[in-house]
Amino acid sequence: MTFVLGLTGSIGMGKSTTAELFREAGCPVHDSDATVHALYGGEAVAPVEEAFPGTVRDGRIDRTLLGERVIGDDGAMKRLEAIVHPLVAARRDAFLAKAHAARAPVAVLDIPLLFETGGERHCDAIVVVSAPEAVQRERVLGRAGMTLERFETILARQLPDAQKRARAHFVVDTSRGVPAAHRQVRDILRALAGRQGRSPDGYASHGSE
């Protein structure tokens, strides 16, 4: 039976890099952001344009235009999520079915808003990617087009990092560089390999160097 590992972390914490480390270790990874990107050029186009007219350009949902319509508007965000989340869930379920059929020992669900959307109920254990607040701010505010206001708006939608870490079975600290993160990922997979069949609550709470 494939062990389902949820991977999450707030903006700027290094989650994408950590997901790639799991891929390099041989784990199939479902990237929910990439799934949304694909849906915004496919199945989600018609229902999103119906709900938010004028947000489609050249047959794709324009994420900038859509963001201007929904960010900071809880009602609009809920309407969007009601459209997109079921489509993402269907692709997640197909991914897990494929992983189970292939007898993958561990499959990773890379979901930025894992706790916020209740996604942890689909996982056997959770990895939270984290870094000190100063490191997070430096990374995020260094991105092209990012503003402090937008950063704070995004953070407001995300569960605080401390709460995520408190609910995690494993924590990967990315502030010490990729080699250290790689060792932590390796240690997590070693722990899972040695404890298959046990309750996730029995796992170590942190990956170690």
**DSSP one-letter string for 52-95:** STT-EETTEE-HHHHHHHHTT-HHHHHHHHHHHHHHHHHHHHHH
Q: Has residue 126 got a pLDDT over 90?
A: yes
Rounded to two decimals, what is the model's pTM? Answer: 0.85
Residue partners of 201: CB distance under 8 A and separation at least 6:
169
Domain final residue, candidates 101, 126, 151: 101
Domain count, the chain: 2
Residue 203 has pLDDT above 60, yes or no: no
The pLDDT assigned to 157 comes to 85
Looking at the fold, whether 86 and 178 belong to one and the same domain comes out as: no
Q: Are residues 96 and 114 in the same domain?
A: no
Token digits for 143? 């991105």
Among candidate residues 66, 81, 101, the one where a domain is terminated:
101
Is the domain of 76 the same as that of 172? no
Residues 127 and 199 in one domain: yes
Which stretches of the chain are DSSP H helices?
15-24, 32-39, 45-51, 63-70, 74-101, 133-141, 148-157, 161-167, 178-194
What 3-state class would DSSP assign to 47?
Answer: helix
Q: What is the pLDDT of residue 86?
A: 93
Q: Which of 97, 101, 87 is nearest to 122 (CA)?
A: 97
Backbone angles phi, psi at 10, to 5 degrees: -70, 165
Examine the domain organization and report whether 108 and 191 are in the same domain: yes
In a shared domain, residues 77 and 150: no
Looking at the structure, tell me whether residues 64 and 45 fall in a common domain. Answer: yes
Give the integer Cα–Cα distance in Å for 37 and 16: 15
pLDDT in tens, 155-186: 988 999 999 999 999 999 999 999 999 999 99
Mean pLDDT in residue range 65-84 = 91
Residues 95 and 112 in one domain: no
Domain with 18, as residue range(s), is 1-28+104-209
